Amino acid sequence: MDSPVTTRLSEQLREKIEESIVTGAYAPGTRLEEIDLAEMHGVSRTPIREALIQLEAVGFISKRPRKGWEVTAIPAPRLCEMFDVMAEMEAMCGRLAARRATDVEQRRIRLTHQACQRAKEANDPAEYYRLNEVFHLAIYDASHNAFLIEQASALHRRLRPYRRLQLRVRNRMHTSFNEHEAIVQAIEAGQGDVASDLLRAHVVVQGERFTDLVSSLESLVSPKLSVVA
């Protein structure tokens, strides 16, 4: 049985590797070698293997026969299906949050939104993305539906690299912030249907946003598979 120290180390390593995937440092198709990662992080292969198993469980990587671990490349149509489901989950969270959010939860959503504004004005996409995630999770929590929170959070985590990619598109950060403002106002006003519609439109990937996402994905993929060393 793993000790708490070993478990925590594997979780820290998972977060580091996941962040490299999220930021595009490990593009789809990149091979991840246990021994190289262990040397890179100054640890044994055991916590690295555990971290990779955790990443496989949420779909970030997969294990290929005779090829080892590989960063998962999701086909664009499949990715859009996942965003469709995410949009519906967020729409439900918004509708329930507008009905159920406490004053404290409404204030948390508003304060997080204001923090996003500061990141936007500082032209800091990385910080905006981090706060954007906090903003959405605050809306999930305000839904007061534990099962919905669990499922929405899991899918949000799975889509993290791709939601982050969208902020690279020109003016998307500013557009995202303006959409957030309308969502916050609807939640504060108790307008469930409005909040639902706004969140659905905010998350779903269609039309030009589909083209932009595919373009961003293509820019990340190397001409040939690389090995993390």
* The domain boundary residue, chosen from 18, 47, 73: 73
**3-state SS assignment for residue 27:** coil
Indicate the pLDDT class of residue 208, thresholds 50, 70 and 90.
Answer: low
Q: Which of 167, 71, 187 is nearest to 127 (CA)?
A: 167
The one-character DSSP state at 168 is T
pLDDT, mean of residues 110-131: 93
Q: Which amino acid is at 182?
A: A
Contact 73, 221 (CB under 8 A): yes
**147 plus 92 within the same structural domain:** yes
How far is the C-alpha of 124 from the C-alpha of 126, rounded, in Å?
6
* The domain boundary residue, chosen from 42, 73, 104: 73
The distance between the two most distant Cα atoms of the chain, rounded to a whole number of Å, is: 56
Please report, for the chain, how many H helices and E strands are present, in that order.
Answer: 11, 4
**104 plus 175 within the same structural domain:** yes
Q: 122: domain range?
A: 76-216
**55 plus 94 within the same structural domain:** no
| Single pTM value for the model | 0.75
* The domain boundary residue, chosen from 73, 88, 107: 73
How far is the C-alpha of 77 from the C-alpha of 44, rounded, in Å?
38
Give the CATH number for residue 82.
1.20.120.530
How far is the C-alpha of 142 from the C-alpha of 176, rounded, in Å?
20
Residue 7 has pLDDT above 60, yes or no: yes
**18 plus 53 within the same structural domain:** yes
pLDDT, mean of residues 27-36: 90
Residues 184-203 have pLDDT tens digits of 999 999 999 999 999 999 99
Burial 192-226 (b: 16+ CB within 10 A, else e): bebbbbbbbebbbbeeebbebbeebbeebeeeeee
**91 plus 36 within the same structural domain:** no
